[in-house]
Structure 1
Amino acid sequence: MTADYYKKLTSNVLYQVSIPQTSGFKSVYKNIGSVNNKGFELAINSTNIRTKDFQWSSSLNLSFNKNVIASVPAGGQSFINNVFIVDKGYAVGTMYGWKRKAIFSYDQSNAFTPDWTQLTPIFDQKDRFQGYQLNGVPYTGEIKQLRSGSSVGQIFKGGDVMWDDTNHDGVIDAKDRQVLGCGQPTVTGGLWTEFKYKNFNLSGFFSFALGGKVFNETEFQNSNQYYSALTKPNPHILANSWMAPGDVALYPSPANTATLDNTREASDLWIEDGSYIRLKNIRLGYSLPKSLTKSLKIESLDLYVLMQNFFTWSNYSGFDPEIPSGGLTVGYDYNSYPKSKDILFGINLNF
C-alpha cells in the first residue's frame, strides 16, 4: 500500500484577457493565471488467494483532488460558456447560474408573503380563482410577486420558471446567480482484478469517478430547438412542457420563453450527476502448456479476447459521462463523442 499527499501552485495558466478593440480583436490568451492543486492518492495491491492451481490478485487506486483558482488577472474573463465562473477562490469547473425551483402552474401562483413564502392559489370547481391560502389557512395579507430584470420588469406568469430569488428582492437578475455544482469529481480511481486457473486467466479493469457534475450543453442546445418555429419539437420536452393553467411541468411554456429567458443557459436544469463506473476492459486468455510449446519449439503462445468500454453504470443522460477534463471547463459536455466499444482477438507468440 502507498499513500501520497500533494500540494502545488501551478502558475502561468493559459487565460483569456480582454484587450482594446482598436487592435481588431476582443481578447487574447496569456499565461498569467494560477491554480492551487492539492489532493491525496492511495494505492493498494494485494494477492487475495494463492493455491497450486488458482490465484486471485487485485489492485485499487483512489485519488482525491481539488483545483482552486489562486489568482486571476485584472480584466480576466469572469465566465466561460456563460456557465463556468473563473474567479479567485472558486474551484476549477464551478458552474454558476440560476436555480430553478418550479414552473408556475397558474398566473396566480406567482404570489408570496412579505417574507417570500409562496402562497397557494385556491380555485372553485369551475376553475375560478377564489383567493390564497398559507399553510392551509386563508390569507388576506400583503402579496408580493417576482419580476424579471428590475422592480418594474415583467411579472412571471403561469408557464414561466420560478427562479430562486437568493437575495429576496423580488427581482430575478444577475444578483441571483449562485454556485450550481462543480465538474471536479470528489474521487476518481480504478480497480484491476485478475483470476488465474491453471492455463486460463480472466482480468478486468474498472474506472470510476464519483461526485462530479456535468453541464449538458448538448441537451441545452437540443432542448432549445423546441422553442424555434423552424425546428421539429423535441418529444421529451413536448411531453413535459407547461401547456395550460394547472399543469405541473418540467419545462416552461414555449409561448413566452424568449421574453422572460425561461430557457436561459446558465441554469441547473442542464446540470446532471456525472458519476459513473465503467468496465474499461475485460480480458480472457489461455496459455498453451509448456509441453506443447516445447514440442512446437516456441517459448510461449497466448490466445486472448479483449472487450473494451462495453459496460458503463451512470445516471447521466448524455452519450458518455467520462467528459474530457482539460482547461477551466471541467465537466462541460457539448457533443462529446462517445468512446467506441471494441472487441479484439489476439495472439502473443514468443520464439
Structure 2
Amino acid sequence: YMGLSSLTNGYLEQPGIIQSQIKNTDLKWETNYNLNLGLDFNLFNRINATLEYYTRTTKNLLMDRPISMTTGFGSYLMNIGEVKNKGVELEISSTNIKTKDFSWNTTFNISHNKNEIVTLDGMQTEIISGTQIRKVGKSYRTFYMIEFAGINPETGAPQFYTNDLDENGNYIKDITEKYSEANAIVLDKHAEPNVIGGLSNTLRYKWFDLSFMFSYQFGGYSYDNWAQKTEHGGNDLEANIPTYYRESWKQPGDITKYELFIESPDVAMNKSTTTRRLHSSDFIRLKTLTFGITLPKVWTQKIGVDNVRVYASANNLWTWAAYDYYDPEAVSGGSAIWGTPPLKTVTFGLSVNF
C-alpha cells in the first residue's frame, strides 16, 4: 500500500532514484467465504472413502488494474475483483489383500476445481494481462492471443486467423500472412487443469516392501514464453534452435506447423504471440518408487538391533506429457519460462533401530 522509491543504474553515470510503486492507502485485505460439505464412509472394513464439495468466494481480490501510462506506470494494485472457486474432491483407500505374509493397499484421489471471475470493479468486464485475460464469467487464467492458422504449404510462410467480428458478433476465420492484420481473441483454454490427483500402492511380502505413486493432471494449458528466444525460424542465428525445427517446411506441398527456416524471415515467430506456443499441460508421472528389505527380527535381535531395513528410492523416474519440450510441472501461472524441472533422483539408504 506504500509509495516506494528505488535506486536505479542512474543517468549519465550519476546515481538516480525513481518512484517504483504508487501509494494506495485504500488497499484492504482479501476476504474469503468458504463452504465445505464432506462425506466419509467405510465398506466391509476394506474401503474408506472421503467425498468433499466446496465453494470459496474471494472478495476484494487484489489485482493490477491498467492505468494511464502518463503516471509512469502501466498498472495499479487495487481491490477490484471477486473470484469464485468450486469443486469436488474424492479419495478412496482400499485394503486389496491382507494375509499373514502378503498385503496390498491402494489410495486413489481425484479433484476437480472450477474457477470463475464474478466481477471486476463493477464497470469494466475484462482486463488484459499479457497472454491472459481477466474476464467476467471466465477462468482467472484464461488465455488471450492471436490464433495460429498453420503454415502455407506452398510457400512455408506462417498464417494467422484475422478473427474480425461480423454483424452477429461471430469471428470471421479469414487467413492472413500479415501478423498485424490478425486480432487476439479470448480462447476457451485456461491454465487451471480440470482434474488433478494421484494413485499410490504399497505392497509387502514377508521381508520385502514395494511402494509407488503416480501423480497426474488433465485439462489445463501453458504458454511457452521461452519460445520467444528459440522459436525464431532463423531470425536469430546465434540463439539455440529447438529440435522440432527438423520438421520445418522445406518444399511445396509440405504440411507442418513450422515455417521455412531462413535467415531474417519476413515474419519472426519468436516475436509473435500466437496459439502455436499454447500447449496442453496434461501429464502422468511416476512420482516415487521405493523398494526395501527388512531383515527378520530373529536375525537382528541376536546382535542387539531391533530393526534393520535396506532400501532404494527414486523420484520422478518416468513421465508421460502431452507436450514434452518442457516439464509440465515447471510451469508458473500458466507460463513456461526458465523453470527448473523436478529432478530425477535415486537414493539408497540403511535404517537401523536399536
Task: Note whether the superposition's TM-score is higher than 0.5.
Answer: yes
Give the unaligned 5+ runs of structure 2: 1-48, 164-170
Amino acid at match of 2:210: L
CA offsets 1:73-126 (integer angstroms, 9 cap, x no match): 36798233x3111121111322222222332234xxxxxxxxxxxxxxxxxxxx
* Residue in 2 that maps onto 1:250: 257
Moved more, 300-309 or 68-77: 68-77
Residue 343 (structure 1) shift: 1.4
Contact (CA 8 Å) 1:99, 1:180: kept in 2 or not? no
* Residue in 2 that maps onto 1:289: 296
Q: 2:136 aligns with which of 77, 88, 100?
A: 88
**Residues 195-274 of structure 1 correspond to what in structure 2 (within 5 A)?**
195-224=203-232, 226-228=234-236, 231=238, 234=241, 236=243, 239-242=246-249, 246-253=253-260, 265-274=272-281
Residue 226 (structure 1) shift: 2.6
- CA distance in 1 between partners of 2:150 and 2:331 (Å): 31
Amino acid at match of 1:95: F
Secondary structure class of the residue paired with 1:86: strand
CA offsets 1:197-236 (integer angstroms, 9 cap, x no match): 01211101111112222212223431126323x5257264
Q: Matched residues, percent identical?
A: 31
Distance 1:307 1:246, change over 3 A: closer
Moved more, 44-53 or 166-175: 166-175
**Residues 22-37 of structure 1 correspond to what in structure 2 (within 5 A)?**
23-37=71-85
- CA distance in 1 between partners of 2:135 and 2:248 (Å): 36
RMSD: 3.0
* Residue in 2 that maps onto 1:164: 161
Give the unaligned 5+ runs of structure 1: 107-157
Contact (CA 8 Å) 2:146, 2:183: kept in 1 or not? no
Contact (CA 8 Å) 2:226, 2:336: kept in 1 or not? yes
Secondary structure class of the residue paired with 1:90: coil
Distance 1:233 1:255, change over 3 A: same
Residue 254 (structure 1) shift: 5.9
* Residue in 2 that maps onto 1:124: none
Secondary structure class of the residue paired with 2:299: helix
Distance 1:162 1:293, change over 3 A: same
1:332 maps to 2:335? yes
Q: 1:279 aligns with which of 269, 286, 298?
A: 286
Residue 253 (structure 1) shift: 4.4
Amino acid at match of 2:89: E
Distance 1:72 1:83, change over 3 A: same
Residue 51 (structure 1) shift: 1.3
Residue 346 (structure 1) shift: 2.3
* Count of aligned positions: 294
Moved more, 34-43 or 65-74: 65-74
1:341 maps to 2:309? no
CA offsets 1:259-287 (integer angstroms, 9 cap, x no match): 66766543121122211111111111122
Distance 1:319 1:20, change over 3 A: closer
Secondary structure class of the residue paired with 2:226: helix
Contact (CA 8 Å) 1:16, 1:77: kept in 2 or not? no
- CA distance in 2 between partners of 1:221 and 1:76 (Å): 33
**Residues 130-145 of structure 1 correspond to what in structure 2 (within 5 A)?**
none
Secondary structure class of the residue paired with 1:224: coil
Distance 1:306 1:78, change over 3 A: same
Amino acid at match of 1:187: V
Residue 316 (structure 1) shift: 1.6
* Residue in 2 that maps onto 1:54: 102
Contact (CA 8 Å) 2:230, 2:242: kept in 1 or not? no
1:321 maps to 2:317? no
Amino acid at match of 1:38: K
- CA distance in 1 between partners of 2:322 and 2:63 (Å): 33
